[in-house]
Amino acid sequence: MTVRTEAVPHITRTVALDERYSQIILGINDENLKVLENQLDCQIHVRGTDVTLIGVAHEVARALKVLQELQAIARRGHVISPDSVKNAIHIVTGETPQSASKLLANNIIVRRGKAVRPKTLGQQDYVDAIDTNTIVFGLGPAGTGKTYLAMAKAVQALQAKRVSRIILTRPAVEAGEKLGFLPGTLNDKIDPYLRPLHDALREMVDPEIIPKLMEAGIIEVAPLAYMRGRTLNDAFVILDEAQNTTPAQMKMFLTRLGFGSTIVVTGDITQVDLPAGQKSGLRLVRDILAGVDDIYFAELTADDVVRHQLVSRIVAAYDEYEEHH
């Protein structure tokens, strides 16, 4: 007995792109079109501004939706990169499909024409949580935008006068290094630990005015030990690299919360640099504070990593090498 399987009928749909935006949507040298062809399970043919889609009905419908969203993003004046296309496909075809154009064009701040905005659903959830909770924990691997987006929200809050100052802090612990053995003054020793915070800040605020803001106490970048004994009122406070806090340091920091303040704690619990046997305050705090009102734990994953495509390929190559050696 032979079982006959009927071929699923294919359909053809043609969509006309707005000629003002077709080049932006398809990308330089069709780089965005190549991503669409690789990621969508249907044939795509382009002639001028007409895009013809051939495939099973639900795949063609999905491709149409992605093209509509990309066109909406282009209309808002945003540049569309291959990564933007991947993110749009992921958002449109996720378990809870959403508007990619609405999500990917949701600017937090804009400086010199460059917009800072969430680029994945996980990042959007994280940013929304900061708006609606007093304390937010941003947990996830490197490259997920935990610190960068928190910094953007801090600058946005300062510009809108919702807070009067920004405080950026991180524990002075790094792999295999003790501060006492490093050369220079205390400031020289501390500076390398705080440098990533300075770098992110310079992308959000004109570098020329940062020293003035720091002198006036409107922006403070300091090691975690400097927070002890203080009450932080009317401030947006970011604790970065929080996986390297001890449980006592984490409790000390969280109890600095004052009126009118927001606290964002970021970290990756898989990258703890504390001495062997020392518990991470970030790991412990999830068990202690889970379910407490006005505290939110945003879990970012590998799906939220936004990096240069070459970096992603380098990481993948290292992962493959380590699997076989």
The answer to whether residue 208 sits within a structural domain is yes
Predicted pLDDT at 175:
37
Question: Residue 268 domain-assigned?
Answer: yes
- Amino acid letter, 260: G
The domain in which residue 276 lies consists of 115-322
User: Last residue of some domain: 55, 80, 105?
Assistant: 105
- What pLDDT is recorded for position 247? 92
Q: Which of 77, 105, 133 represents a domain boundary (last residue)?
A: 105
Residue bearing tokens 């953007």: 152
Same domain (yes/no): 189, 269: yes
Residue 97: pLDDT band by 50, 70, 90 thresholds? low
Both 132 and 255 in one domain: the answer is yes
Q: Are residues 205 and 316 in the same domain?
A: yes
Tally of structural domains, the chain: 2
Q: What is the pLDDT of residue 189?
A: 47
Measured CA to CA, the distance from residue 49 to residue 51 in angstroms comes to: 6
Residue 65, Cβ density class (10 Å: 0-12 exposed, 13-18 middle, ≥19 buried): middle
What tokens appear for 3 in the block? 């079982």
Work out the widest C-alpha separation in the chain, in whole angstroms. Answer: 85
Least confident of 2-11, 35-44, 300-309, 315-324: 2-11
| Residue after which a domain boundary falls, among 51, 71, 105 | 105
Same domain, 132 and 265: yes
Query: Is residue 105 helix, strand or coil?
Result: coil
Q: What is the pTM assigned to this prediction?
A: 0.68
Residue 263 near residue 135, CB atoms below 8 Å: yes
- Who contacts 222 (Cβ-Cβ below 8 Å, separation ≥6)? 167, 168, 169, 194
Q: How many residues are given for the chain?
A: 325
- Which range, 48-57, 245-254, 296-305, has the best average confidence (pLDDT)? 245-254
- Decide the pairing of beta strands 43-47 and 235-239: unpaired
Confirm if 107 and 117 have CB atoms less than 8 A apart.
yes
Q: Tell me, yes or no, whether 75 and 218 share the same domain.
A: no
Quick check: 99 pLDDT over 70?
no
Q: Which residue has the tokens 């294919």?
A: 10
The Cα 166–Cα 220 span in angstroms is 6
